[in-house]
Amino acid sequence: MPEFPYSRLRRWPDVEADNLQAHDATDLLLVERALALDVPGSETVVIGDEYGAISLALTAAGRRGIRVHQDLATGRRALARNAEELGSGGFTPHELDEGLLAGAQLVLLQLPKALAELEEIADAVARWAAPDVVLVAGGRVKHMTLAQNEVLGRSFARVQAQRAERKSRLLVASEPLPVPESPPFPVTARHGDLVLVAHGGAFAGSRLDIGTRVLLEVLDLGGPQLRRTEVTRAENERNGGESSRSSGVVNGGRRVLDLGCGTGALAASWALAHPRDRVVATDRSAAAVASARATASANGVADRVEVTHDDAGSALAAGSFDTVLLNPPFHLGASVHTGAATRLFEAAARLLRPDGELFTVYNSSLGHRAEMSRLIGPTDQLRRTPKFTVTRTVRRP
């Protein structure tokens, strides 16, 4: 069988750089293991295939009918594009649900970063796959922890770690245990007037991120228990910024975007505080999208918060928002990389109407202010704590 041309795969539309590849040694180990097992494609499931390397190598080897779940909209697009480029098909995309896993004998998993995400996946496999399913989960040794074995051990009677190869390692889980009546996710927590609902893969889980909390305070959102009364117009002005009150955010009828919404904390808080506004929340993670929809429902604002699964709001019309709220990501994979934040600044520039406002919270150590001024328009600091900075950027006409 000819070698699969892994190097022809691309990460696009995800961030591309010389030191970033569209496959890794774990993909190769998972593919080798699957090819050594005699499980038909129709009973094989791939979860967490970043850019399609696993699914496409298996379909190229003649395994047809593979079911695939990818969390990220970018990964889904990369897989579709790579499949088209290589002229391969024979797999079907699914959400993380019964349709993905029913009757599966073999599940190949690129281990997710968050343990909660692994717990949700392990439960789903034990719940819906065939009773004799084998879950083969792989990762880079430097990112693996014993806690991952423990999490798998909650859903499987046998979990065996394999010998590391090429700095990657496989964990093989089998003999699914009886599952609890209701799945462990989503989880729910109340923060003042706000209820957050989170699936395992959503940023910060059902906690309210401290950066998000600072942004909510500055915007005077989130109800009395989240509001810090000392955050006043006077304080904001002393800090060299303008009060959010002076920016016209109090009166309704505005179009507001929560860009990279996670569990939808910003979107739901805005909708609760501004009943006449229409809010769109968008994220590239399917776990985030499901969480934000559930959060909107739990807060009774689902009719005013539309949630979309997309890369940087690419399907939304240019110039269609008065206000954008942003708590950008600052990690890409395991390395600190600001490319992911830049992508969202460019999106905000495209999506805001002229003179529209972007409110951003970010780690004070990052130089985002200059970049936002360059890409979008004049940027004022509204608040600075030792850890976080909140800015207001006005989109230049």
Ligand X SMILES: C[S@@+](CC[C@H](N)C(=O)[O-])C[C@H]1O[C@@H](n2cnc3c(N)ncnc32)[C@H](O)[C@@H]1O
Residues in contact with ligand X by CB under 6 A are: 203-204, 209, 212, 260-262, 265-266, 282-285, 288, 311-312, 327, 329, 340, 343
Provide φ and ψ at 88, rounded to 5°. Answer: -115, 150
| 52 vs 57: CA distance, rounded Å | 8
With respect to ligand X, which residue has the nearer C-beta, 43 or 71? 71
With respect to ligand X, which residue has the nearer C-beta, 46 or 219? 219
| 187 three-class SS | strand
Q: For residue 355, count CB atoms less than 10 angstroms from its CB and return exposed for 0-12, middle for 13-18, buried for 19 or more.
A: exposed
Q: What is the DSSP string of 31-91?
A: HHHHHHS---GGGEEEE--SSSHHHHHHHHTT--SEEEE-SBHHHHHHHHHHHHHHT---E
With respect to ligand X, which residue has the nearer C-beta, 54 or 312? 312
Nearest distance from C-beta of residue 127 to ligand X, angstroms:
25
With respect to ligand X, which residue has the nearer C-beta, 157 or 318? 318
With respect to ligand X, which residue has the nearer C-beta, 141 or 315? 315
| 232 vs 242: CA distance, rounded Å | 10
User: Would you say 196 and 208 are in contact if contact means Cβ atoms under 8 Å apart?
Assistant: yes
With respect to ligand X, which residue has the nearer C-beta, 156 or 203? 203
Nearest distance from C-beta of residue 269 to ligand X, angstroms:
10
Nearest distance from C-beta of residue 311 to ligand X, angstroms:
5
Beta strand spans in the chain (E): 44-47, 66-69, 91-93, 106-110, 134-140, 156-161, 168-176, 187-191, 194-198, 255-259, 278-283, 305-309, 321-326, 331-332, 335-336, 352-363, 379-384, 388-394
With respect to ligand X, which residue has the nearer C-beta, 138 or 222? 222
Q: In 156-264, which ranges are continuous DSSP H helix?
A: 210-218, 233-238
Nearest distance from C-beta of residue 134 to ligand X, angstroms:
30
- Residue entry with tokens 């600091």: 381
Q: Give 3-state DSSP helix, strand, coil % of the chain, rounded to 5.
A: 35, 25, 40
With respect to ligand X, which residue has the nearer C-beta, 43 or 311? 311
**200: closest CA among 337, 294, 129?**
294
Nearest distance from C-beta of residue 26 to ligand X, angstroms:
21
Nearest distance from C-beta of residue 10 to ligand X, angstroms:
16
